[in-house]
């Protein structure tokens, strides 16, 4: 497999990965620290026959992305905290209408305008529950520049495969870091495209589970197959319905198409967990500090491991189950916020493991030393 070696910024890797995955439409609005994604998309998309539109705001950006996807293009937008908040209503529309799209959120300090140029991981719960109502969503989080490239491609693949919005949840550290990366040639990249209906189909129902996998084949506007799209609860034909049976059926299918495929969707890394009595649970840029801390503590003879969540939502309950069945006694959830992921970890641990939080929310990255100090504190109180 031939590769290209490049020095690349995280936001640049996102654009390269998106184009490699087939992105041909980007609508967005500049916002720190994601602005480079818009700038580079504007420069690169026309070269591959794609379109870039700077919209008047984040609400319109999300709407344009949905429209482009309905017309058959792979579409993406990128933003940060305040813009991510504005996108939520249209993200909900995309969830219910099953429109594939990728939303990049480069997290920064908040709430409100907050700390525009400084890192945080405070959008974890918003990424899962930001839009209202029960809805499916996939959220993945990279820790390195190379992973930004790979996970952007994966975000498109998951979105297309399951007809669901996929959120790439980055943070300022990963987005603005520059690293040497080896990129595969585009012919070597696995690309997944949405399932399409037979073009000769009669009486096409856009939300009918034809194949029994919970994922209806998706026609596109312009294919010559008429269909209806609405943000109201709808039946298989796409037209509104207030029937309790119809409502329950569609919402159950929307959720089950994700939860029936957890082994395909959920990804994580376990480092030195086989004999660890203390495991650090983390994601994104914080995992870089955790990796360093674990290796240094191992040199001191402490049995410490790390669970790095590459997929944040759906949550990796299977990984916690593995730790419960092993030698682990304590979990330390390290995250750059006041405490968001920790509650899900506690629920998953079911009281079998002691769960501690290591939280930092002042605009600075959690350091390896801070993680090492927390591990020693937990060990001393065990």
Q: Which tokens go with 122?
A: 């405070």
**Contact in structure between 313 and 127 (CB atoms under 8 Å):** yes
Residue 78 is inside which H or E element, if any? strand 74-79
pLDDT tens track for 140-191: 999 999 999 999 999 999 999 999 999 999 999 999 999 999 998 877 889 9
pLDDT value of position 134: 96
Q: Which domains does the chain have, with CATH numbers?
A: 3-188 (3.40.50.970), 268-381 (3.40.50.920)
What is the torsional sign of CA 79, 83, 84, 88? negative
Residue 17's alpha-carbon distances to 50, 214, 299, in angstroms, are: 14, 28, 37
**Contact in structure between 313 and 128 (CB atoms under 8 Å):** yes
CA atoms within 13 A on the CB side of 320: 24
Q: Residue 246, SS3?
A: helix
Q: Which tokens go with 120?
A: 């945080």
Q: How far apart are CA 292 and CA 107, in angstroms?
A: 23
Q: What is the mean pLDDT of each run of 10 residues along the chain (382 residues)?
A: 85 97 97 98 98 97 98 98 97 98 97 96 98 97 98 98 98 97 86 94 95 96 94 97 98 98 98 97 98 97 97 98 96 98 97 97 97 96 78
pLDDT value of position 2: 63
The residues that bridge with 102 in the sheet, in sequence order, are 76, 166
pLDDT value of position 1: 52
Could you count the other beta carbons within 10 Å of the beta carbon of residue 355?
19
Q: How far apart are CA 88 and CA 81, in angstroms?
A: 11
- The contacts found for 150-154 with CB under 8 angstroms, 24 or more apart, are 150/17, 151/17, 151/310, 152/13, 152/14, 152/16, 152/17, 152/18, 152/21, 152/102, 152/104, 153/17, 153/18, 153/20, 153/21, 153/189, 153/190, 153/191
Q: How far apart are CA 167 and CA 92, in angstroms?
A: 13
Q: How far apart are CA 130 and CA 154, in angstroms?
A: 22
Buried b (16+ CB within 10 A) or exposed e, 9-45: bbbbbbbbbbbbbbbbbbbbbebbbbbbbbbbbbebb
Model's pTM, two decimal places? 0.96
pLDDT tens track for 216-261: 999 999 999 999 999 999 999 999 999 999 999 999 999 999 999 9
Q: Which residue has the tokens 């580079």?
A: 40
């Amino acid at each position: 497999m031939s590769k290209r070696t490049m020095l690349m910024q995280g936001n640049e890797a996102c654009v390269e990965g998106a184009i490699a995955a087939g992105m041909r439409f980007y609508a967005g609005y500049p916002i720190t620290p994601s602005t480079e994604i818009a700038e580079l998309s504007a420069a690169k998309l026309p070269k591959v026959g794609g379109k870039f539109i700077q919209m008047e705001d984040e609400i319109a950006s999300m709407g344009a992305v949905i429209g482009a996807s309905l017309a058959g293009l792979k579409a993406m937008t990128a933003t940060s905290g305040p813009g991510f908040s504005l996108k939520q209503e249209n993200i909900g529309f995309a969830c219910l209408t099953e429109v594939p799209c990728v939303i990049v959120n480069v997290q920064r300090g908040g709430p409100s305008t907050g700390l525009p140029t400084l890192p945080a991981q405070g959008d974890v719960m918003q990424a899962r529950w930001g839009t209202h109502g029960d809805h499916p969503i996939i959220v993945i989080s990279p820790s390195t520049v190379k992973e930004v490239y790979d996970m952007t491609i994966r975000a498109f693949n998951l979105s297309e495969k399951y007809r669901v919005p996929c959120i790439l949840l980055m943070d300022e550290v990963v987005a603005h870091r520059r690293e040497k990366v080896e990129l595969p040639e585009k012919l070597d990249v696995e690309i997944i495209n949405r399932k399409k209906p037979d073009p000769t189909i009669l009486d096409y129902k856009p939300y009918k589970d034809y194949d029994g996998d919970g994922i209806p084949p998706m026609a596109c506007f312009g294919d010559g197959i008429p269909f209806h799209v609405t943000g109201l609860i709808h039946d298989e034909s796409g037209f509104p319905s207030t029937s309790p049976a119809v409502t329950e059926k569609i919402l159950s299918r929307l959720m089950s198409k994700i939860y029936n495929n957890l082994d395909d969707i959920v990804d994580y890394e376990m480092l030195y967990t086989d004999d660890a009595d203390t495991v650090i649970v983390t994601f994104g840029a914080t995992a870089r500090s955790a990796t360093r801390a674990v290796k240094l503590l191992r040199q001191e003879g402490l049995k410490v491991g790390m669970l790095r969540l590459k997929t944040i939502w759906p949550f990796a309950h299977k990984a916690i189950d593995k730790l419960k069945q092993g030698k682990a006694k304590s979990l330390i959830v390290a995250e750059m916020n006041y405490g968001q992921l920790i509650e899900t970890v506690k629920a998953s641990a079911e009281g079998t493991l002691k769960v501690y939080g290591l939280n930092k929310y002042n605009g600075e990255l959690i350091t390896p030393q801070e993680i090492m100090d927390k591990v020693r504190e937990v060990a001393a109180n065990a």
